Structure 1
Amino acid sequence: MKETHRQMKERKLNEEKNVKKEILPITEVLIGPMRHQKEAAVACKILLKDNGYEDVKVDVSKMPYRGF
C-alpha cells in the first residue's frame, strides 16, 4: 500500500527527531533596528531555546529604526 502524503510527512518528522543535532557555539544574538524589535527578540529566544541553545544572550540594537 502506498503511503499518503500525511504519512510520509509524519515519518520524515519522526526520522528528523532521531538525528542528533550539532550545537553551534552561539553566545549572543543582536536584533537589528526594525519596527517590532521586542517581538523579534522574544521569537529569537523561543527559537533558540527550542533548538537547545539555553544560555544565549539576545539583545536589541540601540540604533534607531528609520523605516516607514
Structure 2
Amino acid sequence: MTGIASMMAARWFWTAMLTRSEMAELGLTRIDQGEEIWLTLDPARTELKTCTLAGTPVICIKIKER
C-alpha cells in the first residue's frame, strides 16, 4: 500500500514539474493563491489578442516562436 501511495505521489510531482516547465517555455507563469489561479504572460514572448472562433470573438494568447 505504501509503495502504491509513493508511486502516485511521485507521478503527481513529476506531472506538476513538467507542466510548469512547459508553461514557462511558452512564456506563461501560473500563480496559485488560495482558491484562485492566475496566469501571467511574459511580455517579451506573449501577446493577448482577440481572435475569432466559429464566428465568435474570444480572447487568445499569441506565443512568439524563439
Task: Return the structure number with greater strand share.
Answer: 2
Q: With the length of structure 2 as denominator, give the TM-score of the two structures.
A: 0.28
Task: Return the structure number with greater helix share.
Answer: 1
Q: With the length of structure 1 as denominator, give the TM-score of the two structures.
A: 0.28
- Higher-Rg structure is 1
Q: RCO greater where, 1 or 2, for CA within 8 Å and sep 6 or more?
A: 1
